[in-house]
Amino acid sequence: MFHLLIGLMGLFFIAIAVIVGAILLFGITLAVVSIFGGASAVVLIKDKTIRRLLLIGCLIILLVAAICLSPFASALFNISLNLYSTNISLLVAIIVLTIIGIKISKNINNKIGRTVSAVIFYIACAIAVIFIVFIIVIMLIMKSPT
C-alpha cells in the first residue's frame, strides 16, 4: 500500500505542476495577445468606434490575464496579497469596461455588427458577475464557523 501511495503521489505532483504551468502560460499568453492586439488596433483600424471597442476588448483580456497571474506574482515577489479582494476589484473593472463597450457599440451603423458586439459584451459582463458571486460564496463558506 505504501508503494502505491509513493507512485500515486508522484503522479499527483506532476498533475499539479502541469495545471499550474498551464494557468501561468495562459496568463502570459493573454497578456501578450492583449498588448499586440491593442497596438494593432491603434495602428490598423481607421473607424474610431471600432477602434475603441477593440481597445476595450484588449483591456478586458489584459484584466483576465492579471487575474490569472496575480497568485504567481504575489508568490514570486513575496507580497501579502488578498486574492479575493484583488480578483473582485479586477472583475468589477471588467464589468465597468463591458458596460462602456455596450454603450459604445450602440454607435455602430451596421445592425448585425451592433447586435453581435453588444451580445459579446453582455456575455463578458455576465461571466464577470457570475465569478464575483462565486468568489463571494467561497468567502462566506470559508468564514462560516462549522
Cα–Cα distances in angstroms (integers) from residue 127 to residues 36, 87, 112, 124, 132, in the given order: 24, 13, 23, 5, 9
Q: How many residues does the chain have?
A: 146
Number of domains in the chain: 1
Q: List pLDDT tens digits, range 13-34.
A: 888 999 999 988 999 999 999 9
* Mean pLDDT score of the chain: 89
3-state percent helix, strand, coil for the chain, nearest multiple of 5: 90, 0, 10
**pLDDT confidence bin for 89, thresholds 50/70/90:** very high
For residue 131, what are the domain limits? 2-143
- The C-alpha cell at 27 is 496568463
- Supply the pTM of this predicted model: 0.83
pLDDT of 146 over the 70 cut: no
